[in-house]
Chains A and B, each alone.
Chain A
Amino acid sequence: MGKMTIEELRKIRAQAKKTINLRDAKGKARITVHMGTCGIASGAREVMDALLKAIEDQGIQDILVTTSGCAGLCSHEPMATVEYQNSPPVKYVDLDAEKIVEVLLKHAVNGEIVKEYALAIGSEKMN
């Protein structure tokens, strides 16, 4: 068993090495999932897991995923921020596993902001 899994990991390593070399080091977009205590309590881990699975399953390249702590808007967690190329960052609020995949495919991959889930600065959603 053990030998086989190490063998499997070796293959994954070789594959990853190829894609790393092909990839643009800067990435096309960055998605930051807020992982503070309030985020985790309201489902940020499921959001992160769904995001990572979608990236793995669909072989999406050039998207960087990072995490950050609490953003101070605890009642609207889970939250994520998308930075697409040189556009200003957009914050998404009240996310779940399905919404984050939609944000990934529409905004991070294709550059279209998903307005329904985006936090409009200055709107009542800020409270």
Chain B
Amino acid sequence: MKEIALHIQDIAENSVRAGAGLLVIEIREETRADLVTVVIEDDGHGMDDDTVRKALNPFFTTKTVRRIGMGLSMFKQAALQADGRFDVDSAPGRGTRVEASFRLTHMDRQPLGNMAATIVALLMSNPDMDILYRHVRDEDVFVFDTRVIRQTLEDVPISEPGVLQFVRELISARQNLDE
């Protein structure tokens, strides 16, 4: 994976498979602390301690099409190579929280990449899952919440082409949507 946004999409696919109803994605860029923090949290079926330990092993997967699972270990690798930390916190029935940090100015830190494309692809494939996406850059806070969008859309699905185009533009422009 070449960018953090792609890792986020991939980690979010795990949340989808875990039956998440709400996915929270937070990116925090802190210039003074020289830190980027990414948190991906879901309310899916979660994992017990043993599964969490195994999940960080690149050869563990509960999928049946393939013998290896790469998603979490690749994300962990991306964080560690940029002098960051990686943590998975999960409990059965409660959900899962994945946190990765990176040193902002580290030479090997991957670029954030195209978050608009990531969110649009997630909405396209999982139109019923809610997404709360927060992107904080020092004092500047951007919030995108599908629950607010749905209030206006009423019976029109969020995966309609025109709506996805709107979402893409909103996120690309980092334009907050007020209620």
Chain A residues with CB under 8 Å of chain B are 1-3, 5-6, 8-10, 12-13, 15-17, 20, 35-38, 40-41, 45-46, 48-49, 52-53, 55-56, 65-67, 69-72, 74
Q: Determine if B149 and A74 form an interchain contact, defined as CB atoms under 8 angstroms apart.
A: no
Which of B10, B63, B125, B164 is A66 in contact with, Cβ under 8 Å? B125
For chain B, residues 132 to 159, give those with C-beta under 8 angstroms from any C-beta of chain A: 149, 152-156
Q: Is B89 an interface residue (CB 8 A)?
A: no
What chain A residues lie within 8 Å of B69 (beta carbons)? 37
User: A45-B9, A52-B164 provided; 9 other pairs, C-beta below 8 A?
Assistant: A5-B177, A6-B177, A6-B178, A13-B163, A16-B162, A37-B74, A45-B6, A46-B117, A69-B13
Q: Determine if B156 and A35 form an interchain contact, defined as CB atoms under 8 angstroms apart.
A: no
18 A-B pairs in the complex with CB atoms less than 8 angstroms apart: A5-B170, A9-B149, A9-B152, A9-B153, A9-B177, A12-B166, A16-B163, A37-B13, A37-B69, A40-B6, A40-B9, A45-B6, A49-B114, A56-B164, A66-B125, A70-B66, A72-B65, A74-B66
Instruction: Determine how close the nearest CB of chain B comes to the CB of A94; give it in whole angstroms.
Output: 18
Which residue, of B13, B63, B118, B121, has the highest number of chain A Cβ atoms within 10 A? B121
Residue of B nearest to A65 (CB): B124
Instruction: Determine how close the nearest CB of chain B comes to the CB of A42; give it in whole angstroms.
Output: 10
Q: Determine if A41 and B1 form an interchain contact, defined as CB atoms under 8 angstroms apart.
A: yes
Q: Determine if B70 and A16 form an interchain contact, defined as CB atoms under 8 angstroms apart.
A: no
What chain A residues lie within 8 Å of B163 (beta carbons)? 9, 12-13, 16
Docked CA distance A9–B163 (Å): 8
Q: Determine if A35 and B166 form an interchain contact, defined as CB atoms under 8 angstroms apart.
A: no
Q: Is B120 an interface residue (CB 8 A)?
A: yes
